[in-house]
Structure 1
Amino acid sequence: MQFLEDPRGGERLWRLLSGNNRPLALGSGGRRSPQEELAAVRRLAREAEPALRRDPEGRWRWELAAQDGPNVRCPGVFSRQIDARRAFHRFTQAVELAEVTSGTQREQR
């Protein structure tokens, strides 16, 4: 799990990358340490069912949210609901093996 610090002091973001460096999930870090955030995401992935949402164009994505955080979302969209479910399953497997890393967000131009 890569935590990205905003050099301008904005919100800390994170992303979970697959073995081939493709994003599996995105989220925003709250006030917890990166290790605490990773533990909270793991608990949420084990205990919660994803919300599968369809956008106006008919594409599917999954989201997870807890009342006190964390909020986790799929970085991509899928043409079929089953593909969104499979992507969530890949996330739940990968988050169990995740380690914490850090980086810096690039400035948006």
Structure 2
Amino acid sequence: MTTPDPIRRFVEATNAGDTEAFLDNFTADALLSDWGRSFRGRDEIATWNQSDNIGVQSHLSIVRIAPVNGTYQVRIAVKGNGFNGEGDMTFTLDGDLISSLVIT
């Protein structure tokens, strides 16, 4: 399956360490939930990005992706100075942007 553009850009921005491009992938009121910790809107997502993503030099690789009931289930491999290993991300898209990202 071809990776939808917002998810592809999410990975590319993370890997490039480009915070502005990363945040530009989200709707203004997007929700990011990371194992029960919730971040709403770009300002809060920017905080998560600094503590758990670009701020710890994460590098992401898509292992697999599948559409499921209007969302995309993505298995991601992560390397960097934070979490290392594989995890699942569920993306909900609103047009060309991410409206919800749930990490489990």
The reply to whether TM is greater than 0.5 is no
More strand by share: 2
Q: Normalization by structure 2: what TM-score?
A: 0.34
Work out which structure has the larger RCO, using CA pairs closer than 8 Å and 6 or more positions apart in sequence.
Answer: 1
Q: Normalization by structure 1: what TM-score?
A: 0.33
